[in-house]
Amino acid sequence: QVQLVESGGGLVQPGTSLRLSCAASGSIFNVMAWYRQAPGKERELVAATTSGGSTNYADSVKGRFTISRDNAKNTLYLQMNNLRPEDTAVYYCSAQRNEHAYRYWGQGIQVTVSS
């Protein structure tokens, strides 16, 4: 049974940092990613990575967010620096066994950036 469990969210002030974690179990995933959904908006890709180490980022987070993974622990991370109020959203971990496979989702975790 596949499970993706996110942790590390919360309420922070603008300009500070958070690190999200996603512990995966039940399979080995080639493609893992973080998405987010703000109130009234569609879910959007934040960052993605493959088991080979390639990454891509949304333009809005380039230079501030870093996606990484520990393949031995089957865990995905998102280091978020210099957070802005517009980063406020529910963040979701996703995982696929390969690029065209079914996409699994975590339950989501709230990140709120506010002074």
Residue with token string 């517009």: 86
Main-chain dihedrals φ then ψ at residue 98, nearest 5 degrees:
-150, 180
Helix (H, G, I), strand (E, B) or coil at 70: strand
Distance CA 56, CA 115 (A): 29
Q: How far apart, in whole angstroms, are the C-alpha atoms of residue 66 and residue 58?
A: 11
pLDDT in tens, 7-57: 999 999 999 999 999 999 998 899 999 999 999 999 999 999 998 889 999
**pLDDT given at position 41:** 96
> In the prediction, which pLDDT does 101 show?
87
